[in-house]
Structure 1
Amino acid sequence: MTVAIQTRRRTGGKRSPIAERRRQALEQARGSRNKPSRRSRYVERVSKDPKPLGFYVIAVVTLTLVLFGLVMVLSSSSIVSFHRGRSPWYFFTKQAIYAAVGGAALYIAYRMPLDKLRLIARTLPIFGLGFMWLSFFPGIGTSVNGARAWVHIGDYNIQPAEFMKLILVVYGADLLARREKSIHDFTQALRPYLTVVALAAGTAIVQSDIGSCVVLSLIGVSMLFLAGAPLKPMFLAAIGAGCLGALYVVQDPDKLSRITSFLDIHGTRESDGYQVYQALISLSNGGLTGTGIGAGTGKWGYVPIAHSDFIFSIVGEEMGLLGVLGLMTLFAFLIYFAFQVALSCRHRFGFLVAAGIGCWMVVQVSINIGGVIGIMPVTGLTLPFISFGGSSLIASMAAAGLLMNVARRPR
């Protein structure tokens, strides 16, 4: 009896049967392997064999999405840029610069040894949260579309929450991989990660950046689920966060009106539902093949922020249903092969990184498109790789670089 009690204490308490079965299913899907040596857990060796298919698919899809995004940013922003007295190439030029920086971030993430990444992973939340908190300082932080979620540096506005999404994936992967044996111990594994997630999501909600708050929270829940954590703490944390978020929104009638406007788009088409209503008109104008790139009318002031949050409506108008299906196929390939890379990775850290990025893309793409077509609230999220925005593009390309990094590792 004493031995049993001591054993239970060492393993972090009684394990949930559901969580244990989920963990075993994930291990079986990855292909059960012998436990690697201590050295092999921390020192990754790049295979000299030909890289797997997933590596090339991720690389090609990422490049295609970035180039397509540049074309759509030029098409959707030239009119509004000219109307503001700037060059029609203004937003395109800035996005091209962001793409170049993102390419450098992708290369660094691709080339960085995973053991070195793990060494800095533990300190990343400090920098990420500190960067987010800079937005509250006068003269540094700035408000865009009602959200004080940007940091002004020189001629550029940076949104730290975009980088915090990637930080949550990397930090969570390292922490949960190191504490795999104590994943059922709330104090050892769950509390440290949930604390970081709560701080990040709480900061976003105080900034009035509801979209980032939702994505950060769902990334945290996804990482815990993938790591095989007990469901009960996750559900309790999700319910608590949801209640606090709902309370915050209910106290502000303007926020509540914007969040609930999608329930009656036609009735709110002259107020909070205006953006979505105009976006739906643009989508309907596209038909099967679209009006042609550059020939859409929604960007002529009808669809606000057409080059950013609502760029999907311009894609649908100018490229039609076929263009939309093509774009969705590219995202589907990226997400599918992210999970394939995760399942083929022999190390738990790489598995959690790849699967976490896949979950992040699923969440953000779904919420953005869902808001544009009126089945979800509009939360101000960008469409990864496509929307105008340097922070989003650089963070997404760095995430793609990490996927390629994990993909090139041997089984």
Structure 2
Amino acid sequence: MIKTHLRIFEIVLILMMCSIVFVFSMGFFNYGGQKSPYGFLFSQTLFALVGVLIIFTFQLISEKNCYRILYAILFCSVLACFILPFLPSSLVVETKGARRWIRLFGFSIAPLEFLKISFIAFLAFTYSRKIDKSKRTFIQDLKLLAPTIAIYCVIFGYAYITQNDLGQCVVTAVTMFIMALSAGVRFKNIFYLFLAAIAVGISLIAYNPRRLERGLEWWGSIQDFVLPIFPESIQESLKIAHSSEPYQISHSLNAITNGDLLGQGFGLGVFKLGFLSEVHTDFILSGIAEEIGFLGFLFVALLFGFLIASVLKLSIYMKSKQNYLFCIGYGVCIMVTFLMNTGGIISLIPLKGIAVPFLSYGGSSMLANSIAIGILLSIFKNTGENINLENKE
């Protein structure tokens, strides 16, 4: 258990150092005059140092107080999300028409990043008290899950409408369903609910012209690879007029291809020079693949694989169902976020503007995930649940 505890911190530390190095490298192109490359380096280094301090600080706090802090973060982040659309422009950072960040003390804070992490704690608390392993019908499970689903729809539905951030909503929804499955809801019932959620999501996209256009562009770019697996009659109904590959996706794929196996070399990537405008955030994996190649990308992917596996492994040793569900929820959250970003940059799924935990540039994602890691490590240090478990390593 101590090995697992240390492994999690070591992996997070390596990812933070990779983030500092590659944000500095990607920052040598001045993103619309936002900052100098040294400005990006300073900011990301500061975020990483504060993140490490948060992780160590939470290990000095009791489990009960850790959860209290998370519930306070939940309240503050929900409040921030609801008032964000009404704040004056001087207090809000707007990018591409999306008002997702609150300007505070010279930094931009994204409430949804903290809401996502704290909502996992809320789900763990709720499911641990309401759901057991007994067999129930679909209607009975639906009644148990209805309150949390309703709360999710109100909070994240409002966030989607006002902040246009579908990616975070999808990550949280998938996490919510898998946590319910882990709590004791039957797989068949979760599957039905998941299908209903997909239907709702498709409806929301269909009624949003911008998202519908992006979805059709994505389908147009992959249909030639996917349609041959269907019968010809179905192919004709699914085929749309050929559309050009989305600009950012095209350059993302070119950057990955340009990296080949070993990469162009640190700092020598060319697609960061104005082609991939978000290479330090949403497309940082593409930038890494170009500069240190497929093997470098594979190294980063393995780091995330070990991190996710280590977090999920901690859940096995938990005696408290709430702690068990929190571990499951956060592990799934990291996994879905990483897979969505990776799938997006290679056009496997429609692109979502979602940060890679501990890697993408930005303080909100770094600090929110550091809080989650700090609480996970605190649980093991302060609850005594790791007694005699070293022998199991």
- For the aligned pair, the TM-score class normalised by the smaller chain equals 0.7 to 0.9
Further displaced range: 62-71 or 401-410: 401-410
- Separation in structure 2 between the aligned mates of residue 331 and residue 354 of structure 1, nearest angstrom: 15
Q: Which residue of 2 aligns with 1:113?
A: 62
Q: Contact between 1:354 and 1:406, CA under 8 Å: does it hold in 2?
A: no
Q: Which residue of 2 aligns with 1:159?
A: 110
Residues 269-326 of structure 1 show CA distances to partners (whole Å, capped at 9, x for unaligned) of 46xx110110111111111111111011011111121111001111000000110111
* 1:145 and 2:76 matched: no
Partner residue of 1:369 out of 318, 342, 345: 342
Q: Which residue of 1 aligns with 2:229?
A: none
* 1:65 and 2:25 matched: no
Residues 260, 105 of structure 1: alpha-carbon distance in 2 compared, 3 angstrom cutoff: farther
Task: Look up the SS of the partner of 2:375 in the other structure.
Answer: helix
- Separation in structure 1 between the aligned mates of residue 102 and residue 4 of structure 2, nearest angstrom: 36
- The equivalences for 1:15-34 within 5 A come to none
Task: Look up the SS of the partner of 2:350 in the other structure.
Answer: coil
- Separation in structure 1 between the aligned mates of residue 335 and residue 347 of structure 2, nearest angstrom: 18
Q: CA deviation at 1:246?
A: 2.4
- Separation in structure 1 between the aligned mates of residue 159 and residue 34 of structure 2, nearest angstrom: 33
Q: CA deviation at 1:114?
A: 1.4
Q: Contact between 2:133 and 2:184, CA under 8 Å: does it hold in 1?
A: no
- The equivalences for 1:264-275 within 5 A come to 264-265=220-221, 268-269=243-244, 273-275=246-248
Residues 119, 385 of structure 1: alpha-carbon distance in 2 compared, 3 angstrom cutoff: closer
Q: Which residue of 2 aligns with 1:91?
A: 40
Partner residue of 1:401 out of 358, 374, 378: 374
TM-score (norm 2): 0.84
- Separation in structure 1 between the aligned mates of residue 165 and residue 34 of structure 2, nearest angstrom: 29
Q: Which residue of 1 aligns with 2:156?
A: 201
- Separation in structure 1 between the aligned mates of residue 133 and residue 147 of structure 2, nearest angstrom: 13
- Separation in structure 2 between the aligned mates of residue 87 and residue 80 of structure 1, nearest angstrom: 6
Residues 226, 111 of structure 1: alpha-carbon distance in 2 compared, 3 angstrom cutoff: farther
The AA in structure 1 aligned to 2:311 is A
Task: Look up the SS of the partner of 1:79 in the other structure.
Answer: coil
Residues 241, 188 of structure 1: alpha-carbon distance in 2 compared, 3 angstrom cutoff: closer
In structure 1, runs of 5+ residues without a counterpart are: 1-50
Task: Look up the SS of the partner of 1:111 in the other structure.
Answer: coil
Q: Contact between 1:168 and 1:219, CA under 8 Å: does it hold in 2?
A: no
Q: CA deviation at 1:175?
A: 1.9
* 1:55 and 2:27 matched: no
Q: Which residue of 1 aligns with 2:126?
A: 175
* 1:303 and 2:276 matched: yes
Partner residue of 1:133 out of 82, 86, 96: 82
Q: Which residue of 2 aligns with 1:19?
A: none
Q: CA deviation at 1:90?
A: 1.4
Task: Look up the SS of the partner of 1:89 in the other structure.
Answer: helix
- The equivalences for 1:350-369 within 5 A come to 350-369=323-342
Q: Contact between 2:132 and 2:183, CA under 8 Å: does it hold in 1?
A: no
Further displaced range: 67-76 or 138-147: 138-147
The AA in structure 2 aligned to 1:259 is G
Residues 349-393 of structure 1 show CA distances to partners (whole Å, capped at 9, x for unaligned) of 221111111100110000001000110111100111111111111
- Separation in structure 2 between the aligned mates of residue 124 and residue 95 of structure 1, nearest angstrom: 22
- Separation in structure 2 between the aligned mates of residue 204 and residue 232 of structure 1, nearest angstrom: 29
- Separation in structure 2 between the aligned mates of residue 357 and residue 112 of structure 1, nearest angstrom: 19
Residues 344, 281 of structure 1: alpha-carbon distance in 2 compared, 3 angstrom cutoff: same
- Separation in structure 2 between the aligned mates of residue 86 and residue 306 of structure 1, nearest angstrom: 14
Q: Which residue of 2 aligns with 1:336?
A: 309
Q: Contact between 2:71 and 2:118, CA under 8 Å: does it hold in 1?
A: no
Task: Look up the SS of the partner of 1:148 in the other structure.
Answer: strand
Q: Which residue of 2 aligns with 1:410?
A: 386
Residues 181, 290 of structure 1: alpha-carbon distance in 2 compared, 3 angstrom cutoff: closer
- Separation in structure 2 between the aligned mates of residue 172 and residue 336 of structure 1, nearest angstrom: 21
Task: Look up the SS of the partner of 2:200 in the other structure.
Answer: helix
- Separation in structure 1 between the aligned mates of residue 357 and residue 46 of structure 2, nearest angstrom: 16
Q: CA deviation at 1:109?
A: 3.1
Partner residue of 2:52 out of 87, 99, 103: 103
Q: Contact between 2:262 and 2:293, CA under 8 Å: does it hold in 1?
A: yes
- Separation in structure 2 between the aligned mates of residue 375 and residue 393 of structure 1, nearest angstrom: 26
Q: Contact between 2:5 and 2:377, CA under 8 Å: does it hold in 1?
A: yes
Q: CA deviation at 1:111?
A: 2.9
Q: Contact between 1:75 and 1:293, CA under 8 Å: does it hold in 2?
A: yes
- Separation in structure 1 between the aligned mates of residue 34 and residue 201 of structure 2, nearest angstrom: 40
Residues 393, 53 of structure 1: alpha-carbon distance in 2 compared, 3 angstrom cutoff: same
* 1:252 and 2:208 matched: yes
Further displaced range: 276-285 or 185-194: 185-194
- Separation in structure 2 between the aligned mates of residue 308 and residue 201 of structure 1, nearest angstrom: 22
Q: Which residue of 2 aligns with 1:34?
A: none
- Separation in structure 2 between the aligned mates of residue 146 and residue 221 of structure 1, nearest angstrom: 31
Q: CA deviation at 1:193?
A: 2.3
The AA in structure 2 aligned to 1:257 is E
Q: CA deviation at 1:209?
A: 0.6
- Separation in structure 2 between the aligned mates of residue 327 and residue 78 of structure 1, nearest angstrom: 22
Q: Contact between 2:256 and 2:289, CA under 8 Å: does it hold in 1?
A: yes
Q: Contact between 1:201 and 1:217, CA under 8 Å: does it hold in 2?
A: no
Partner residue of 1:218 out of 163, 167, 174: 174
Q: CA deviation at 1:265?
A: 3.3
Task: Look up the SS of the partner of 1:78 in the other structure.
Answer: coil
Percent identity among equivalent residues?
A: 27
Residues 253, 191 of structure 1: alpha-carbon distance in 2 compared, 3 angstrom cutoff: closer
In structure 2, runs of 5+ residues without a counterpart are: 223-241, 388-393
The AA in structure 2 aligned to 1:112 is I
